[in-house]
Amino acid sequence: MEMAIDTPSPSPPTPPTPPAAAGRQTRAAESVRLEHQLVRVPLEALRSTVRSNHRLAEKEIAAALSSASVAPAESSAAAVDHLTSLVSRLHGLKRKMEEGARAEELQVQRCRARLDRLATASTGDDAEWEDLRLKRILVDYMLRMSYYDSATKLAETSGIQDLVDIDVFQDAKRVIDSLQNNEVTPALAWCAENKSRLKKSKSKLEFLLRLQEFVEFVKAKNCIQAIAYARKYLAPWGSNHMKELQRVTATLVFRSNTNCAPYKVSSIFSVLSYDMPLCDESDNSWR
């Protein structure tokens, strides 16, 4: 007797994906690939704020503990004054930590809003998605072209404040404005906050700022302070930028009106071009 062998019936063909759904899936993939900056900026800002708050708390708490351990024993009045000062310092720390917590919450809100926005790439309305993306691009373009008021107005009327980075560009504007006024302190503070990223991108921005500050001392005929500044801040750059250092430190001897050909060009007294970008375009450090 022959046994019948059951053969599995072929599975029904998978129905083709509707064109609209396929388009949304493609758009979602493109969004993840092309719009990583949308989430990257607030995430990096959040990471920076958390680190700053952590360092501040560690520093202040260590100082408070150290102060409490050496309380004066001369008199009760001195002890009371010491403790009052300590309590005041702790109140100040509490206020700063509350401000830091609010900043963290704002950045978390932005991260959440942007993740929610990306999540609608495969489910939302195509026209609405493209319209909002266009407005975001316009705001970004206006900010990069220094049309801050127009960018802010467009973001407010479109309700996309959490999807654009106006505050980042405003911080950059404050630094640029200070540079145009020959003030390098805000830019150096920005360099300190972004030291690891600048080092990774091999940026010379901090070096140029240090050179400019040195030149400002020379222009003010404060040579003693210029020499002290060079020893403290310029000497560490000597291994990689010795030629530039030698040329700029020569301003201690040769003035801008010198007849010595190599140093006759007055541009040496303006090391940093204040119209230069504060980061490499490929690195996009401001973002």
DSSP 151-214: HHHHHHHHT-GGGS-HHHHHHHHHHHHHHHTT--HHHHHHHHHTHHHHHHTT--HHHHHHHHHH
**Range from 6-20, 66-80, 113-127, 180-194 that averages highest in pLDDT:** 180-194
> What pLDDT score was predicted for residue 141?
93
pLDDT confidence tier of residue 196, bands split at 50, 70 and 90: confident
Mean pLDDT over 131-136 rounds to: 89
Kindly report, residue by residue over 62-108, the tens digit of the pLDDT. 888 887 777 666 677 777 887 888 888 888 888 988 998 898 898 88
pLDDT over 70, % of the chain: 74
Domain ranges of the chain: 35-123, 199-269
**Cβ atoms within 10 Å, residue 90:** 14
Q: Hey, CA dihedral for 33, 38, 43, 48, is it positive or negative?
A: positive
What pTM, to 2 d.p., does this model score?
0.65
Angstrom distances, CA of residue 256 to CA of 50, 53, 221, 229? 46, 45, 12, 20
Q: How many C-alpha atoms does 47 have within 13 Å on its Cβ side?
A: 8
Residue 250 has a pLDDT of 82
pLDDT digits (tens, 9 = 90+) for 11-43: 555 555 555 555 566 666 666 666 777 888 888
191: nearest Cα among 208, 169, 173: 208
Residue 221 region by backbone torsions, left for phi larger than 0, else alpha for psi between -120 and 50, else beta: left
* pLDDT recorded at residue 22: 59
274 vs 158: which has the higher pLDDT:
158
